[in-house]
Amino acid sequence: MTKFLSQIYQVVSEPKHTVKRDYPSLTSEDLMLLVADGDKSAFSCLVNRHQETVFRLIYRYFGKEEEANDLAQEVFVRIWRSSKKYTPTSKFTTWLYTLTANICKSETRSLWRRNIRLIGSFWASGDHDAPEILAPAPSPEDAALQAEQGRLVRAAIQSLPPNQRLAVVLRRYEELSYQEIALIVGCSVAAVEALLVRARVNLQKKLFPLKK
């Protein structure tokens, strides 16, 4: 955490003033208003509160820890730099997810990141913590089969169009509602439903051999 914040602070200016506040008790929306006024302590509290969510979303989208850490820092740097434009017309988390999603889609369009593989299965368990390393299989044969299944799953999810992939991650892992996903992706609720249906169909076609 200390390293994460120190890297962000390389591009964050000093606060205009220091006022003692009970920052953890404030809502994220209130913290953002303080950040807009140059309150670095409010920004630290905001990072502490949301860095895991941001990292987790990016990690599950790209599947690379180093890229996830770099892009998570970029998210919070952009939050600081655009804080004066923030208006609490919706939940802060919706604004945060939207910003993170836009950065993910922007990176996807970058040629040198096109082959990054996404870790995770559309039919994975309901664990919402950071992706875990699979437990050792009881036999070499099972280990080989598990590795091949993992490769096929990663390839299938990575092959999804960006909006389908993003909708899957937001719905399956972040458990957001269709309405929230629609705001983040920038489409209607009906379009989100269609994205998820198409994603499921595409994944079922590609992963059909795993279900035999």
In the chain, where are the structural domains located? 1-116, 139-212
Please state, in angstroms and rounded to a whole number, the distance separating the CA atoms of residues 156 and 93: 29
**156: how many CB neighbours lie within 10 A of its CB?**
20
CATH topology of domain 139-212: Arc Repressor Mutant, subunit A (1.10.10)
Strand blocks (E) in the chain:
none
pLDDT in tens, 14-50: 555 556 789 999 999 999 999 999 999 999 999 999 9
Q: What is the DSSP letter of 110?
A: S
Best CA proximity match to 119, nearest among 62, 202, 56: 62
pLDDT tier for residue 195 given thresholds of 50, 70 and 90: very high
Please state, in angstroms and rounded to a whole number, the distance separating the CA atoms of residues 111 and 103: 14
Q: Among 19-23, 130-134, 190-194, 207-211, name the most confident range.
A: 190-194
The two structure tokens encoding residue 11: 């591009």
The pTM of the whole model exceeds 0.85: no
Give 118's Cβ-side CA count (13 Å radius). Answer: 25
> 178 versus 133: which is more confidently predicted?
178
Best CA proximity match to 39, nearest among 27, 53, 23: 23
Burial 120-151 (b: 16+ CB within 10 A, else e): bbbeeeeeeeebeeeeeeeeeeeeeeeeeeee
Residue 180 has pLDDT above 70, yes or no: yes
pLDDT in tens, 147-173: 667 677 767 777 888 899 999 889 988
Whether 3 contacts 66, CB under 8 Å: no
pLDDT in tens, 74-123: 999 999 999 999 988 889 999 999 999 999 988 877 633 343 333 333 33
What is the amino acid identity at position 48? N
The pLDDT value given to residue 210: 55
Q: Please state the rounded mean pLDDT for residues 188-211.
A: 87
The pLDDT value given to residue 106: 87
Q: What is the DSSP letter of 172?
A: I
CATH of 1-116, one of 1.10.1740.10, 1.20.1050.10, 1.20.210.10, 3.30.930.10: 1.10.1740.10
